Amino acid sequence: MNALEVSDLSFAYGAREALRQIHFSVPAGRFAALLGPNGAGKSTLIALLTRLYDVQRGEIRVGGHSLRTSPRQALRQLGVVFQQSTLDLDLSVEQNLRYHLALHGVSRRQGCARVDAELARQQLTERRHERVRNLNGGHRRRVEIARALLHEPRLLLLDEPSVGLDPASRQALGQHIRQLCNEHGISVLWTTHLLDEVQPSDDLLIVHQGRLVASGRAEDVSEEHGGSLGSAFHRLTASGVAA
């Protein structure tokens, strides 16, 4: 069973083509890294997956539900951490989460239990009453992850979640998210432009100028296109792609 299926997806901003015939899937419980240079189309894809933009061509299915014909069921399966943080810095960790639940119309009692559970899973219980402004970048990201998981989605989307973090926090965040996959069966699509965020056993999708230029286990993609991930990535993204 696939958590996400994207088929023949194309998108243009007016005359400017941003994605062309993208085709991939993320199996349940897998960590998929979507790697591409700036401008490759990563955030455009996230915007389509979250229905910020309407699909122009192709199809997206989340947990088997079509985003086009069953948007409610599809979006219920999705949690998202956008590239730009959307936390209220002057609210506490807990208030940021509660505010989100209120927006979704979750009952107070049910909401309390979910907030407690997510804070514990993100190791934030002791920080719950602190203002977000006082947290470091890594902890702020965890608050966003907790918030994205409050409604218990099966698939978590993270758009360049490590931007702005120091190397140690970047590594800790990557480990933490892989643990969510391995121990809780959550599927993840993690976008990045940084090679060192990809591990050999990850599912890897490389996008360049709006096209998917490679996909498969990261170690297999590396082997097939140059030996190391670095040489594969440079080879696949060095030049313009033929139309």
**Closest CB 30 distance from ligand ADP, rounded Å:** 21
Determine, following the binding rule CB under 6 A, whether residue 38 of this chain makes contact with ligand ADP.
Answer: yes
Of 3, 15, 12, which is closest to residue 58 (Cα–Cα)? Answer: 12
Output 18 or 60, the one with its CB closest to Mg ion: 18
To the nearest 10 degrees (0 to 180), the angle between helices 137-149 and 108-121 is 140
CA distance 192 to 165: 13
Task: Answer yes or no whether residue 240 interacts with ligand ADP by CB under 6 A.
Answer: no
Residues 39-68 that bind ligand ADP (CB under 6 A): 39-44
CA gap 145, 164 in Å, rounded: 16
Residues 191 and 177: their CA atoms lie apart, in Å, by 13
**Is residue 107 near ligand ADP by the rule CB under 6 A?**
no
- The answer to whether 138 touches 173, Cβ cutoff 8 Å, is yes
By CB under 5 A, is residue 44 in contact with Mg ion? no
Residue 122 binding: pick among Mg ion, ligand ADP, none (C-beta 5-8 Å cut-off by kind): none
Which 16-35 positions form the footprint of ligand ADP (CB under 6 A)? 16, 18
Closer residue to ligand ADP, CB minimum distance, 43 or 77 = 43
Beta carbon nearer to ligand ADP, 41 or 161? 41
**Residues composing the chain:** 243
Single out the residue of 22, 34, 43, 61 in contact with Mg ion (rule: CB under 5 A).
Answer: 43
Please tell me whether residue 192 binds Mg ion under the rule CB under 5 A: no
Kindly state whether residue 13 participates in binding ligand ADP, applying the rule CB under 6 A. yes
Contact 17, 208 (CB under 8 A): no
* In the complex, least distance from residue 159 CB atom to ligand ADP, rounded to whole angstroms: 7
In the complex, least distance from residue 108 CB atom to Mg ion, rounded to whole angstroms: 36
Residue 153 contact among ligand ADP, Mg ion, none, beta carbon within 5 to 8 Å by kind: none
Indicate the SS3 state at residue 109: helix
Which tokens go with 39? 């401008």
CB 11 → ligand ADP: shortest distance, Å? 9
Count residues binding Mg ion (CB under 5 A): 2
Residue 37 C-beta-side C-alpha neighbours within 13 Å: 13
77 binds Mg ion (CB under 5 A): no
Q: Which residues of 20-51 are buried (b: 16+ CB within 10 A; e: fewer)?
A: bebebbbeebbbbbbbbeeebbbbbbbbbbbe
Structure tokens at 218: 């990261």
Q: Which residues are at the interface with ligand ADP (CB under 6 A)?
A: 13, 16, 18, 36, 38-44
Q: What is the binding site for Mg ion (CB under 5 A)?
A: 42-43
